[in-house]
Structures are given as C-alpha cells and as structure tokens.
Structure 1
Amino acid sequence: MPAPLEFKILTVLSSCTFEQLKQIHAFTITTSLSKSFPISSKFLRRSTEFGGMDYSEVVFFQMDHMFPSQILLWNSMIRGYAYNGPYEKCIQVFDEMSLRGLKPNNYTYPYVLESYCIIGNYKHGQRLHGQILKLGFEVSFSVANSLVDFYLRKESRCCGNVGDGSLEYENLSDAQKVFDGMVTKPVELWNRMISVFVNKGRISDARVMFEDMPERDIVSWNVMVSCFARVGDLKTARDLFDRMPEKNIVSRTTMVGAYASSGDLAKARRYFEKMPERNVVSWNSMITCYVRYGKYKAALDMFLQMYSENVSFDAFTFVLVLSACSQLGDLEFGKWIHIFLMKDWFQLGATVGTALIKMYAKCGDVHMALKVFIKMSQKDVFCWNVMIESLAVHGRSEDAITIFNMMGKRGVKPNEFTFSNALFACNHGGLVEEGRRIFHCMKKTFGVNPTLKHYGSLIDLLGRYGQLGEAYLVMREMPFKPDIAILGALLGGCRVSNDLKLANKVMQHVEELKSNEPGVYVLLSNMYASTGQWRDAASTRENMERKRISKNAGCSIVLEVNHGED
C-alpha cells in the first residue's frame, strides 16, 4: 500500500499543470521518491499529456537506468508519440523494445498500429498483424479493435473519398476477417462495420450484418433506415422504421427526408407535422426539400413558421432561405434575413456570407452585395469567386478585376473557377490586356493549368475585340482539340472583323469535328450575304441541307392582356 506522501503525489499528478509537474519532478528527485516505480510510471505518462515529447524523452532516459525492463514505461512513450508525434519515433521506440528483448503487450500494439496508419506505412502494419497473430494478442479487444480500424483506414486511404464526402472502401475482406474473429464485439463496432458497408454501397451485406447483430441500439436502426432511404427503397425503409422498438428525432427526420427525396412532398410534410419533437435539422430537412423541388415560397413560409415557434436557426437554415430568396427575386425578404444576421455579424461564416452576396446580386442590388463582401471577416475562395462573377454579370468588369487582384494581396489562392470568372469579366468589359495578363499568370504564378474553357474565354475575348490573328494562334497552340464552342467564338470574331478567309479556315475545323451545330453555318452564310457573296451564302445553306442540319426559326409570342374595366 503506498505511503501517504506517495499517495498524495499520485493523486496530484492526475490534474497538475506542466509547471507543477516540473516542481513535482524536482521534489521526487530530492526526496528519492523518483525511485518509486508507481510514481515514476504515473509521472512519465502525465508528462506525455501536454502536447510535446521533449521533456518526456529526458525523463524516460533517466528512468531507463532504474527500471530497464519495465514495459509500462515504454508503453507510455509509445502512447505519447502516437498522440503527439513524431509518429516515426513511436515505431522506433517499439523496435528498440524488441532489440532489448522486451515483449510488447496488448497496450502496446494499438498505438503502434495508429502510428503506421498516420504515416501511411500499411505494409509494416500488416507485418505487425502477423506478429500479433503469432503471439496470440488478437483475442484482446483493444488490439483486435485497432486492427479493424487499421484495415478500414488503409482501404479508405487507398481508395479516397467519393463525391458525397463519404469514404470509399474497395476491399473490406481484411477488416471483416478480423471483425469476424473477435471474441467481444460491442454494438458500437457492429454499427461502424454496417456504416462502412452502407458507404460502400453494399446494401445487402449491411442488411445481413444488421440481422446478425445479437443486440441493436437506436444507431443501428437509424443507419439502416437512412441507408434504404438514401437508395430510394422507401418500402424497406418504412418497414424498418415501423419495426424500430424506439424512434428518436433522427429516425423521424430520416423518413421526412426519404419521402421528400422521392418527390412526395405532401407525405414528407405529414410526417414532419406528426413528429412529437423537432430540432433545427428536422426543419432544415423540410426546407431543403422545398428548395430542391423549386417550392421556394413554401420554403420561406416554413422559415416563418420556424420563427413563430422560436426554433433556433443555424447557418444552413440561412443558406437555404437566402437561396430561395435568390430564386424568387424577393429582395425584401432577403433584406429581412440580412437584418436577422446583423445580430451576429462578426461571427458570420463564409458560407452564409456568400449566400447573402448571391442573394443581393441575383436580386439586382450588386452594390449591397459588394458592401456585404467588404464587411465580411471570413472569406473563402468560393466567396471571392461569387463576388467577381456578380460584378461581371452586372457590367462592373473593372471592379471585378480589382477584387481578383485583391485576392493575391490577401493571400487567397485563386482556383480554376476564379480564373473563369475573371476572364468572363474581361470579356464583358473588353479588357483585353487584363485578360491576357490573367490568362498567362494562371500557370506561371498560381500553378493552375488552363482548361479548354479558359482557352475559349481568351479566344472569344481576343476575337471579339480585334485581335483575331492572336486568337487563331492561341487556338492552334493550345494543348486541346478545339470544340464547337471555341470555333464558334472564333467565327464570331471573324464576323466582327469581316475576315472571310480565316472564317473558311475555321469552318475546316468544324467539318473535322463533324458537328451538327447549325449556328456556325448560319453565321458563315450571313457573313457571305453581308458582303454580297450570295452564291457562297446559298452554297453554305445547301451544305446545311445536305447534312440535314436545321436551325429552328426564332419566334415571338404576343399575349393579349385584358386589363378589365376601370
């Protein structure tokens, strides 16, 4: 039994600060309490819990002389490196143990496997699995659980992320073999395996595992209901929902989303109204459905209902409502939302701020959109892109380029969409020199490879504003085969400059594409007609007929409106 002073030190170590830890260290050395293994082991472990390992290394090397064969000290260092890094040192300490003849235990392996995962050394991690099997530690829950985690993370790292943000698992056999061989499998681990199968799209395997579970919790049921709702199998989702021994707000919200995703908004609303309790996620789910199916007025009405029922909003709520305002062109409602947001203006996130900018721009008040942009404290690259595009659409091309130039000064790296918007602004404002500069700095300054769309914007800009020869040269030298959009832009430039010779060259590229786009043929025919070359104009039209290319004639619709009597 520890002495009173020793017991007191052990108690204090659990909650001491780093400065207090160093004082305890000095005290234990001067009183010879450092020779107590319980104090030394507890002290070393606590020293690794402050985010760094420099001090712990010094302490460990001092203790190594007193307790050279105590595995607990080595485990503390391995655990410390696994939490704080460098992770390579975790593996070095583990290797050093083997060289000294020290045998790892079930507390050692989980941290080493974690370090192998973090540094991506899966080959050595699999070798470690062989050692675990050889020594019989696979029966330990902590080790087996770490092995399952190791293989799941290995597969997710190898296969990357899928489009919706979930992890893609190509081969789950290793993880499943470890899982199947585990003696103890808590429900949380079953749930994780089922979730992985669901994310992989292996619905039938997930269902089999779900049915094999010795016990299920609310999470188990919710995962499966959500799974079948996501793939559109409403019958199975509803069957599982009805079978649930207990339902929570997540279960009910999932069913609301399932019916809404299938297009049955009426049934989704009925489920929503019957919910005994609703949170912001439930409301957002319903508003999302209205926005997705173009029921923007219903989305705004639901927001007003939230407001009347004193439901707390989150950022996603405001993004949805501002999107609905944008689609409706409802500037007044959007301004009301803006006033709402002013209460926490300095906490306004980039996502909500960007939605507010888009709302003002789409509703025609680009000046206010710019004011919001300037006042925002958090701006990501998407926010900058929206502001540049909004200014360009409203004819403020020079302001759009000013915003583009500000990005570099603020340390925000533009992406390919930024350049598309900046070139769009140059095109609409006739800013040829700026367009050239922006295009040429893409790769050279920012490391962004121009796409076919970027080349098309530059070619259109040059051709439209009298630089037809340069536009044609850019087309010839670009690393892509020109598409009909680029050829059409170049042909449009030929019309501006009345350059029939180059127009015929462009049409040769059109012929090579074997495109049935009627616009380019009509444009060439009109060019011939405008210069009095009627025979060539007629020949172009005949060529269209031979190729069975037709252009629908434009038409106007005049509505007779009965205003009624005064």
Structure 2
Amino acid sequence: MPEAKLAPDKITYNAAISACSKDGQWQLALNLLSLMPDAKLVPNQITYNSAISACEKASQWQLALNLMSLMSEATVVPNQITFSAAISACEKGGEWQLALTLLSLMPEANLTPDKITYSAAISACENGGQWKLALNLLSQMPDAKVVPDKITYNAAISACEKGGQWQLALNLLSLMPEARLVPNQITYNAAISACEKGNQWQLALNLLSLMPDAGVSPNEITFSAAISACEKGGQWQLALNLLSLMPEAQVVPNEITYNAAISACARAARGSWH
C-alpha cells in the first residue's frame, strides 16, 4: 500500500489482523496491533476481538487476558465476542477458574452470556475435570434464556465422561431429542467412553449399535472405546468381533484399538490359566 501511495487505515489493519487470526498467525496479528500507534491509529473493539481470537486459537490465554486488560486502559468496551474468545483461550489453556471468573464478570459489563460463551465455559470445566460445574452451567442456561446447542451438550457429556459419571452422560444424551438436537459422532464417542470408564460394556455396545440408524458413522475413537469396554467386561470374543467389523465400517484399526483387543485376550488367558 505505501508503494501505491496509500496509507492503511483502521479498517485495513482490522481486516489484516482478522486474516491473521483466522489462519492462526497470532504473532503476526499482535505485531500488526503493535504497529497501529505508529500509524496514528487507535485500535477499536473489532481490532482487539480479532487479536484476542488469534491468541485463543493458539492457546495463548495469558496474551488474550493481557489484551483484555489493555482494552480497559484504552477505554474500548469489550462485548460478547471479546469475552467468548477470552473464555475459550482460558479453556484451551486449562485455566477453568479464570474462564468462570470471566463468565461471572459479564453481567457487570452489562453483557449477557450467549451460547458460544456458555459452551466455552462448559468446555473449560470439562478440560479441568469439573463435571459438577459443567452441569451447573448447563442448568443455568434456560434461566439466562440461552438455548443449549449440540456443542454445549457434547462438552457437558464429555465432562461427565471424564468425571466417570456414565449415568449422567447417558441422561444428557437422552435429553437431546427433546431439545431437537441430533447427537453426532463426538456425542456418541463421549457417551461410549463414559460407559467404558463405568465398566458398562453392554451399554457401550448398545450405543454403538444405535449409531447407523442415527446416520452417524463410528470412527477409531468409537471402536477403541467400545473394544476397551468389552476388555474391561471380560468379553474378549466381542472385542475381537468389533475389531473384525472395523474394515467394513471403513475404519482402520490403530495402536489403541489393537492394544485394547490384545488386553481383552490377555485378560481371558489369565482367567483360564488361574
């Protein structure tokens, strides 16, 4: 632009920062932001949001929060997008406490958390192993007049799975049709993994059998969790049967899948030896 004797303005910088953000180039995004004062340009809400989103994508939660604090100093008012991106950055950085703190600060800023904000906060709780807090946030959504979507339910089910709460995971799965939400591969994988952790091999296999009718294709994660559930339940024949079904489902067994099947056989062999 300077070669063409054109001076970049705020809109130009915002577009360039946004482009860098979308491609995960957080260093370039922050570099452009730092150049704006030299160009006598004042960053606005859009500028900061794009830069925070860039940091979020790169799991740079400290930088995301630092940018938020700079907004206050520059008297730039954060909006829902700002908070959602910062909460998501904390989620990716494993900082669930900070994610919840940011969520609690939104009413003070006269902002109502939306679907994206709640989903990010629930995901933060999920990553932090805080299934009770994840479910608490999910239960708050109707009062806040926010309708949970598939991503929200998936995060909550995954939180229950990580917390070993298979009954709660299945309960959430059963509530999705009422909410007019169709479970996807991520949903089933989390629910099957929850059953595997809870030694519920029958339920894990039942969920796997429901997937084709629901138009959902299992992947290696699905089969690995189901095979592992059979292994824990001492069902080595079923584990091997699932392994043999994978090529039909156009899924290539991986190391985890084979290890789970081998463990099932080894457990059976130990049992028969004793």
- TM over 0.5, shorter chain: yes
Moved over 4 A (4+): 272-275, 327-332, 343-347
Structure 1 unaligned residues grouped into runs of 5+: 1-270, 534-566
- Over the matched positions of the two proteins, sequence identity in percent amounts to 17
Distance 2:95 2:166 in 1: 27
> 1:343: how far off?
5.9
> 1:475: how far off?
2.5
Q: Deviations over 1:79-100 (max 9, x none)?
A: xxxxxxxxxxxxxxxxxxxxxx
Give the number of the structure whose alpha-carbon radius of gyration is greater.
Answer: 1
Give aligned pairs, total. Answer: 262
Find the counterpart in structure 1 of residue 258 from structure 2.
521
Find the counterpart in structure 2 of residue 491 from structure 1.
227
Find the counterpart in structure 2 of residue 412 from structure 1.
146
Aligned ranges for residues 310-389 of structure 1 at < 5 Å?
Answer: 310-327=40-57, 330-342=60-72, 348-376=78-106, 377-389=111-123
Find the counterpart in structure 2 of residue 451 from structure 1.
184
Distance 1:512 1:522 in 2: 20
Q: Deviations over 1:138-166 (max 9, x none)?
A: xxxxxxxxxxxxxxxxxxxxxxxxxxxxx
Residues 363 and 448 of structure 1, relative CA distance in 2, 3 Å threshold: closer
Residues 468 and 288 of structure 1, relative CA distance in 2, 3 Å threshold: same
SS in 2 for 1:448: coil
Tell whether 2:108 aligns with 1:402: no
Aligned ranges for residues 34-433 of structure 1 at < 5 Å?
Answer: 271=1, 276-327=6-57, 330-342=60-72, 348-376=78-106, 377-433=111-167
> 1:281: how far off?
1.4
Distance 1:272 1:523 in 2: 61
Residues 363 and 526 of structure 1, relative CA distance in 2, 3 Å threshold: closer
Q: Which moved more, 1:357-366 or 1:372-381?
A: 357-366
> 1:331: how far off?
4.7
Match of 2:209 among 452, 473, 476: 476
Residues 440 and 375 of structure 1, relative CA distance in 2, 3 Å threshold: same
> 1:356: how far off?
1.5
> 1:355: how far off?
1.0
Structure 2 unaligned residues grouped into runs of 5+: none
Distance 1:385 1:392 in 2: 10
Q: Deviations over 1:387-420 (max 9, x none)?
A: 1112211222221121111112222111111111
> 1:502: how far off?
2.7
Find the counterpart in structure 2 of residue 200 from structure 1.
none
Q: Compute the RMSD of aligned alpha carbons.
A: 2.8
> 1:272: how far off?
5.8
SS in 2 for 1:395: coil
> 1:319: how far off?
2.1
| TM-score where L is the length of structure 2 | 0.82
Q: Which has the higher contact order (CA 8 A, sep 6+)?
A: 2
Retained in 2: the 8 A contact 1:459–1:489? yes
Q: Deviations over 1:123-148 (max 9, x none)?
A: xxxxxxxxxxxxxxxxxxxxxxxxxx
Residues 512 and 332 of structure 1, relative CA distance in 2, 3 Å threshold: closer
Find the counterpart in structure 2 of residue 510 from structure 1.
246
Distance 2:210 2:81 in 1: 39
1:527 maps to a residue whose letter is A
Q: Which moved more, 1:318-327 or 1:426-435?
A: 318-327
Retained in 2: the 8 A contact 1:475–1:482? no
SS in 1 for 2:138: helix
